[in-house]
């Protein structure tokens, strides 16, 4: 019997600000899902941090840095300093598309601002500390489609309304599923993040049976449309929503700077040093999934985080070698293992010892630290 071919596509965190618990609420569970599912399926994990470099969010930040901070020593910047610069940028007035055009053109050729390059270097260290796959943020497989080619393909399949020849916008058309039109390319030709997402995913669909999209609730409407579009190509599509994590009683974007004290570096300094990186990494995953749960109604606190890291340390200390068992039963009829079920199984009192040993090896062992973009 052939192994399922699963394509994982979490929403991308662009390298413009620190990684926060809300970002990791998507990235860490998807890392767990990948590791567990790869024991019985062929898995491809698409995650390119600079995929949306031409967007107003990223290109706008880069234009701001060159205009306002032309002499900035990017390699010397800390993650916190970059976050402060991003907060400054967000407080300013947006610039015109014409002002962004040179930056967008350079980004299309593969250029990245030194500040984002520096941030990716810092994130690579965080990935290693957290035991995540692919600290090099590489990617293999087909190159993304050109925007014009994507729009042509979608229009042929009646998935887009193409106004380009009239100087009008392009809309994704999922009205057959009861969803509203969504403008994705403006009349000025500027494409938004949904287009770059589809440009990455559509070329990969022919080699996969199922796509798992992951996003936060704020992007639900957009990702319902993306799921409809991908499904029209004949693959199964699932969506996983991961609620944003409240900090200090509120959920706000990283652009507001509420991440201070909650970056990976800040937390690792206080907890990985005390309990070890393996316990820190497993504890972080368990806290986000089991501690905060699907809705993340409670705020992330250092005291609760410490309890989960301590609990993870206990699990790892008590772990005993066991016979390797299949994790496929945890998927049920699905093509993948739900990360919330993984966390519940790890913590279950009646979990079979061999299953627990296998889970801890897969989720916390060094064998999981391989390239994110390759099939396991």
328 domain-assigned:
yes
Q: How many domains does the chain fold into?
A: 1
350 domain-assigned:
yes
What would the pLDDT profile of 29-45 be if each residue is shown by its tens digit? 999 999 999 999 999 99
276 domain-assigned:
yes
Residue range 295-303: average pLDDT?
89
What would the pLDDT profile of 186-207 be if each residue is shown by its tens digit? 998 889 999 999 999 999 999 9
295 domain-assigned:
yes
Residue range 260-286: average pLDDT?
94
Q: Is 234's pLDDT higher than 50?
A: yes
Alpha-helical runs (H) found in the chain:
21-37, 56-68, 79-91, 97-108, 114-129, 147-156, 193-201, 220-231, 264-275, 277-286, 302-318, 339-347, 353-364
Which pTM was predicted? 0.92
What would the pLDDT profile of 93-108 be if each residue is shown by its tens digit? 999 989 999 999 999 9
Whole domain around residue 338: which residue ranges?
Answer: 254-368
341 domain-assigned:
yes
Residue range 310-314: average pLDDT?
96
- pLDDT band, very low/low/confident/very high, at 137 (cuts 50, 70, 90): low
Q: Is 375's pLDDT higher than 50?
A: no
- pLDDT band, very low/low/confident/very high, at 376 (cuts 50, 70, 90): very low
The span from the CA of 354 to the CA of 325, in Å, is 7
Question: Strand 210-215 and strand 236-241: pairing?
Answer: parallel
pLDDT given for residue 369 in this prediction:
37
Q: Is 374's pLDDT higher than 50?
A: no
What would the pLDDT profile of 58-74 be if each residue is shown by its tens digit? 999 999 999 999 999 99
279 domain-assigned:
yes
């Amino acid at each position: 019997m052939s192994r399922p071919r699963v394509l994982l596509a979490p929403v991308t965190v662009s390298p413009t600000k620190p990684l926060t618990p809300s970002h990791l609420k998507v990235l860490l569970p998807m890392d767990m899902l990948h590791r567990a599912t790869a024991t019985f399926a062929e898995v491809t994990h698409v995650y390119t941090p600079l995929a949306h470099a031409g967007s107003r969010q990223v290109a706008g930040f880069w234009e701001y840095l060159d205009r306002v901070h032309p002499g900035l020593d990017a390699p010397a910047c800390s993650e916190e300093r970059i976050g402060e610069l991003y907060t400054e940028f967000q407080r300013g007035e947006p610039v015109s598309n014409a002002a962004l055009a040179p930056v967008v053109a350079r980004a299309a050729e593969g250029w990245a601002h030194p500040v984002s390059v520096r941030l990716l270097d810092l994130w690579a260290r965080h990935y290693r500390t957290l035991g995540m796959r692919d600290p090099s943020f590489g990617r293999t497989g087909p190159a993304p489609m050109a925007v014009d080619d994507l729009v042509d393909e979608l229009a042929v399949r009646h998935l887009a309304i193409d106004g380009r020849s009239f100087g009008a916008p392009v809309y994704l058309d999922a009205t057959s599923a009861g969803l509203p039109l969504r403008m994705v390319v403006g009349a000025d030709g500027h494409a938004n993040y949904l287009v770059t997402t589809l440009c990455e995913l559509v070329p990969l669909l022919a080699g996969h049976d199922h796509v798992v999209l992951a996003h936060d609730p704020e992007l639900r409407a957009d990702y319902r449309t993306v799921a409809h579009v991908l499904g029209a190509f004949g693959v199964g599509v699932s969506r996983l929503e991961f609620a944003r994590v409240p900090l200090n009683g509120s959920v706000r974007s990283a652009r507001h700077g509420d991440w201070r004290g909650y970056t990976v570096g800040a937390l690792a300094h206080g907890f990985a040093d005390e309990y070890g990186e393996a316990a820190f990494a497993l504890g972080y995953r368990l806290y986000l999934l089991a501690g905060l749960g699907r809705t993340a109604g409670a705020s992330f606190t250092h005291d609760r985080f410490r309890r989960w890291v301590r609990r993870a340390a206990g699990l790892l200390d008590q772990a005993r070698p066991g016979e390797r068992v299949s994790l496929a039963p945890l998927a049920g009829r699905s093509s993948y293992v739900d990360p919330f079920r993984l966390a519940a199984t790890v913590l279950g009192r009646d979990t079979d010892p061999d299953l627990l040993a296998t889970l801890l090896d897969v989720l916390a062992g060094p064998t999981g630290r391989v390239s994110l973009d390759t099939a396991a």
